[in-house]
Amino acid sequence: MSTLYLGDTVPDFEQDTSIGRIRFFDWAGDSWVVLFSHPADFTPVCTTELGLTGKLQPEFEKRNVKAIAISVDDAASHRSWIADIEDTQKTVVGFPIIADKDKTVAGLFDMIHPKQSGTATVRAVFIIDPQRKLRLTLTYPMSIGRNFDEILRVIDALQLSDAHGVATPGNWRAGDDVIIPLSVQDEEEIRRRFPKGYRAERPYLRFTPQPDK
């Protein structure tokens, strides 16, 4: 197993999926990627999560994000499960599910946590940018479903920070004010980069309207 840190280049791999065999980097192209793991097929919490991902596909596409799931069952099982997901969750699963029966990918991304299970993956989320850098991780216990609104929120925050060099406050959502980082101190640079102005609640706490709104 390997440990991945934020900013690391994630490992490439070739593996079977519900849509056929893929090379991960080739499949990702120039998109952001949300890779999220599931303990097993035909499990109730996972079924709801994959249904939510299907429903949110237009939101991911607006953000240049590709979703890809992973479970330690084989591709034939995934395809059968997808039919159940689409029927029960009333959506289309328009993204692949990696077949990781040999746990190759689970090992590369350290998804097996022995104190949870020696064979099944925890509910991990990896947000990966187009340069293949790991930008954010979330890890949930096997019994707790993920909050997909939060996944979209942090993608918005990451993309905004990359584009405009800002930070986001707690509970930030698209359209809220953002924070001018402490690394920016020159007033001329602040006026140039943030022409909407700013308010300083403290010298170290400066808010400005979201630059691209």
Q: Would you call 73 a catalytic residue per the annotation?
A: no
Helix axes 44-55, 148-164, angle to 10 degrees: 50
Q: What is the separation of C-alpha 31 from the centre of its chain, rounded to a whole number of angstroms?
A: 12
Amino acid at 105: V
Phi (first) and psi of residue 50, to 5 degrees: -70, -35
Other Cβ atoms less than 10 A from the Cβ of 138: the count is: 15
Which one of the listed residues 46, 56, 99, 155 is annotated catalytic? Answer: 46
Choose among 121, 19, 4: nearest CA to 71.
121
Is 84 in contact with 91 (CB distance < 8 Å)?
no
Q: How far apart are CA 157 and CA 25, in angstroms?
A: 23
Q: How far apart are CA 53 and CA 56, in angstroms?
A: 5
Choose among 83, 95, 102, 81: nearest CA to 53.
95
Residues annotated as catalytic are 46
